[in-house]
Structure 1
Amino acid sequence: MIQVREYAVLTADPEANPTMDVGQVSGATFEWLIDLHNQWEQDSKLMIRNGKKYLKLGSYIGYLQSPSGEGIEILPKTEFASPEEPESLRTLLQDMLRCSASLDGREGDSADLKRSELPIHEWIIAQFLNQLTHLVKRGLRFDYETVEEESRFIRGQLDVGRQSRQSPARATWFNIRHDVFTPNRTENRLLRTALDYVLKLTKNARNWRVANTLSHQLSVIEPFRKPLPQIGQWQNTKLMQPYKAIKPWCVLVLERLNPNFQHGLHSGIAMLFPMEQLFENYVAHHIKKRMRSGSSLTSQAASQWLIKHSPDGGPEKSWFQMKPDLLVTYLSRKNVMDAKWKLLDSTQNTPAEKYGIKQADLYQLFAYGHKYQNGYGHMLLVYPKHAAFQEPLPELSFSEDLHLWCVPFDLYEKRLIGGEWESFFPALTRGHQGALGRCHLRPQEQV
């Protein structure tokens, strides 16, 4: 299996020197990747150097498998330098996926599920199989299904309409309608379908053994031919609480490990995740655990709009909804937070380099600050911590009233790096005495 990281280049050039930033693939796999590049609107780029083709990956991580069976694992880029131990990146990615699936670290505690040598797709399969094993041991939920059939014996209700049209030759047969207590409810059929995918795709010996055993245990359940439209029928009632832990893994397998995701490329797999979204979920998950009592954290708040407009003199409409990544609320005060998956460099402090901060991100925060904070207070821009960005940057000011802090988030200790910014964010400083008193508040807002 080929292992690279974000923004690596892939090539079929036999003279290429494989590293975490350069992946060498077969010609057939490269052509398949070109097809994917043409079909998907992602931030990958096709380049030509010295007459040879290269495909530069974007900010997506996960696993690709070509129809020939060649696998490519794409891991996060957490440092400028090439990593010496890629296993730590796998562990980080596993944690991020757990957070995005809103799963507890308690789930899947066995040593086999924590092994960093498992490729990411095999790890996801192991998580699904582990949850399915627990569910089968606890017992699947059954449901009543109405069956209409012909029988020599009356059972349930007699279908009078059909029976009245029965030919004399079949006068001894009864058209009946009755309920059968069956495991063939939607949730179980989705699980069985995902299990069939897993059994077909896994190359890990332990995963295959577990999947094969479960396949025999669930043999009476009928899989779906087209499962994706059925996912919306999954019930989240109190009766189905035992299914809560397995649902995200089941959906992940059905949506991302579907072996038929491309017409004409039946054995190809493309299980990719946007790092920007994973990082946002990861930051939100761990910040929420450290927040002061009485505060709240809202992801993708959507209460403000950029403009109001009355088309053709009609009723006023709100246009361009504004959704900051995170919105912290404490004592009726709001602070906007945005998480950006980008490696800043604190040594690039010149007017030309600007630490590597994107101007578009600042425009975005400026608008958020005026709409959600009335142009007053402090906002937080969170970036991953790495060797070139280990301490918060000095305060950035949009005006005398509106300020921004760029703060590193430690990916492995799972926390924001402290600093002067903490004085202005009491909700994020649990146990930090006197933080509220040092907040920048307007005189009429002070308590």
Structure 2
Amino acid sequence: MLQTESQTIEVLPKIAGEDNQVRRNLVGMLNVALDLEIGEGEMARVRKQTQSLLEVLIRLYCDKLSEQLRRGLVRRYEAHEENLAFVRGRLSIADQTRRNAANPERLYCRFEEFREDNPLNIILKASLRMLLRHSRSSGNQRLLSELLLAFEGVSDCSIASLPWSRVRFDRLNERYQPVFRLARMFLHQTSPDVTAGNAHGFSLFFDMNVLFEQYIGRMSLPVLRKRGLRGRLQGPRKYVANDMAEAKPVFAMKPDLVATEGALAKLIVDTKWKRLSPEESKEGVAQADLYQMYAYAHCYGCTTMLLLYPHDVQLGNEPGVRRRFRLNSAARGTHAGEGAVLSIATIDLTDLRMVASQLNKLFDMPCSILLAPAP
């Protein structure tokens, strides 16, 4: 989404369905990928929204922050130092000598203060102010203004100077983590490049390759767990080669998902946010993607590979495995049928409630493929 003072442009991902349904599904994917912990009740409210994606996300953020503020604003002991007329905490001798040599009636003290003006609240307040500038929904503007009242005692801070590295979560404030992730999503997407002169703009874009990869990976983990397999995202890391001069591995590989049983890799899944086409040769599967899967199979010693794409109506009504390739082995003495099998498959994202069952069905396929005769 790109917003200027006069227009809002939405670029919706290529997921089948009406625009409102696509927005809801995008929120559902973000929920899983970013651990936003959006409950069923909140998702039900999202389904009723007919506004732009930005307004849908702002309303969701307001609802989640309101829920946490009802349980109390986060207050913490924060380190503080100040020139005082009396001793508070402990006197800093070095600072006292340097700063107050000519002003002995003042005492430079360092102390901790239990206050709401802490890094987490500073970031949350900055997100509210930023969203208030860009929201065009009167309902969202009212909610944002009401929420800002709760942060009256919190310092204002420019987006460029926000104390991200000082935010710490523990058992007392961990309930704020999903809200913090949403605030970070909004603030990190804000680019100074879209502001010029007196005109203010806002952009909110997601790399669908990354989002699709993280969503499918996280949805796959519980499905694999029920099968007694351990799923790992972006690992375990292996290398294509060893540098003989420096005696170290080089060219790291990080498959999107590796399912292991003990030390053995039983399944490797890689996702591609691309639209397959039945009219193209090999339905548009890129040769580079096939090479990549071949390298994974060789280095991980895995014989079951899955390359997963989003389903498209041009491919027919049924998602699932579309093509199978038996990868040729470079090992001498290897017989036909001993090489790895690569399945090209699609998954339908129109109804996210069906994704887990589709993955379960896909993870059943490799077993039958391995037992089938080579094509």
* TM-score of Structure 1 vs Structure 2, range by shorter chain: 0.7 to 0.9
Deviates more, 1:321-330 or 1:108-117: 108-117
TM alignment of 1:94-109, pairs within 5 A: 94-106=27-39, 109=42
State the secondary structure of the residue aligned to 1:272: coil
Q: CA 1:114–1:421 in 2, change beyond 3 Å: closer, same or farther?
A: closer
- Is 1:372 the counterpart of 2:300? The answer is yes
State the secondary structure of the residue aligned to 1:165: coil
Match of 1:392 in 2: 321
Task: Give the Cα separation in 1 of the matches to 2:91 and 2:324.
Answer: 79
- Is 1:65 the counterpart of 2:3? The answer is yes
Task: Give the Cα separation in 1 of the matches to 2:130 and 2:240.
Answer: 45
Q: CA deviation at 1:268?
A: 1.6
Q: CA deviation at 1:118?
A: 2.5
Give the aligned residue type for 1:309. D
Q: CA deviation at 1:181?
A: 1.7
Match of 2:80 in 1: 146
Aligned counterpart in structure 1 of residue 346 of structure 2, from 408, 412, 417? 408
Q: CA deviation at 1:330?
A: 2.6
TM alignment of 1:75-94, pairs within 5 A: 75-78=12-15, 85-94=18-27
Aligned counterpart in structure 2 of residue 336 of structure 1, from 268, 272, 287? 268
Q: CA 1:174–1:403 in 2, change beyond 3 Å: closer, same or farther?
A: closer
Q: CA deviation at 1:112?
A: 3.6
Asked if the contact 2:68–2:176 (Cα under 8 Å) also holds between the matched residues in 1, the reply is yes
Aligned counterpart in structure 2 of residue 248 of structure 1, from 181, 186, 195? 181
Q: CA 1:86–1:176 in 2, change beyond 3 Å: closer, same or farther?
A: closer
Q: CA 1:261–1:247 in 2, change beyond 3 Å: closer, same or farther?
A: farther
Aligned counterpart in structure 2 of residue 424 of structure 1, from 355, 366, 370? 366
Name the structure where helix makes up a greater proportion of residues. 2
Give the aligned residue type for 1:319. V
Deviates more, 1:120-129 or 1:102-111: 102-111
Match of 2:47 in 1: 114
TM value normalised by structure 2: 0.83
Q: CA 1:183–1:268 in 2, change beyond 3 Å: closer, same or farther?
A: same
Give the aligned residue type for 2:229. S
State the secondary structure of the residue aligned to 1:408: strand
Q: CA 1:288–1:174 in 2, change beyond 3 Å: closer, same or farther?
A: closer
Give the aligned residue type for 2:293. L
State the secondary structure of the residue aligned to 2:6: coil
Q: CA deviation at 1:113?
A: 3.4
Match of 1:355 in 2: 283
Give the aligned residue type for 1:397. R
- Is 1:299 the counterpart of 2:230? The answer is no
Give the aligned residue type for 1:367. A
TM alignment of 1:192-207, pairs within 5 A: 192-207=125-140
- Is 1:271 the counterpart of 2:204? The answer is yes
Asked if the contact 1:227–1:254 (Cα under 8 Å) also holds between the matched residues in 2, the reply is no
Match of 1:184 in 2: 117
Give the aligned residue type for 2:146. T
Give the aligned residue type for 1:404. L
Asked if the contact 1:149–1:177 (Cα under 8 Å) also holds between the matched residues in 2, the reply is no
Give the aligned residue type for 1:141. V
Asked if the contact 1:78–1:343 (Cα under 8 Å) also holds between the matched residues in 2, the reply is no
Q: CA deviation at 1:365?
A: 0.7
Task: Give the Cα separation in 2 of the matches to 1:100 and 1:205.
Answer: 30
- Equivalent residues, number: 349
State the secondary structure of the residue aligned to 2:345: strand
Match of 2:64 in 1: 131
TM value normalised by structure 1: 0.70
Q: CA 1:251–1:261 in 2, change beyond 3 Å: closer, same or farther?
A: farther
Match of 1:318 in 2: 249
Q: CA deviation at 1:423?
A: 4.7
Asked if the contact 1:305–1:318 (Cα under 8 Å) also holds between the matched residues in 2, the reply is yes
State the secondary structure of the residue aligned to 2:133: helix
Deviation track 1:166-211 (CA, whole Å, cap 9, x = no partner) reads 55xx85x655554322111111111111111111111112211111
Task: Give the Cα separation in 2 of the matches to 1:184 and 1:94.
Answer: 31
Q: CA deviation at 1:404?
A: 0.5
Task: Give the Cα separation in 2 of the matches to 1:324 and 1:126.
Answer: 35
State the secondary structure of the residue aligned to 2:31: helix
Task: Give the Cα separation in 1 of the matches to 2:142 and 2:157.
Answer: 23
State the secondary structure of the residue aligned to 1:382: strand
Q: What value does the CA root-mean-square deviation take over the aligned residues? A: 2.9
Give the aligned residue type for 1:353. S
Q: CA deviation at 1:298?
A: 1.3
Give the aligned residue type for 2:118. R
Task: Give the Cα separation in 1 of the matches to 2:162 and 2:233.
Answer: 27
Q: CA 1:195–1:387 in 2, change beyond 3 Å: closer, same or farther?
A: same
Asked if the contact 1:304–1:321 (Cα under 8 Å) also holds between the matched residues in 2, the reply is yes
Task: Give the Cα separation in 2 of the matches to 1:187 and 1:294.
Answer: 39
Q: CA 1:179–1:107 in 2, change beyond 3 Å: closer, same or farther?
A: farther
Give the aligned residue type for 1:359. Q
Q: CA deviation at 1:309?
A: 1.4
Match of 2:332 in 1: none
Give the aligned residue type for 1:298. R
Match of 1:165 in 2: 101
Deviates more, 1:181-190 or 1:381-390: 381-390
Q: CA deviation at 1:257?
A: 3.7
Asked if the contact 2:323–2:345 (Cα under 8 Å) also holds between the matched residues in 1, the reply is no
Task: Give the Cα separation in 1 of the matches to 2:297 and 2:24.
Answer: 35
Percent identity between matched residues is 24
Q: CA deviation at 1:96?
A: 1.3
Give the aligned residue type for 2:276. L
Q: CA deviation at 1:370?
A: 0.6
Asked if the contact 2:134–2:202 (Cα under 8 Å) also holds between the matched residues in 1, the reply is no
Match of 1:22 in 2: none
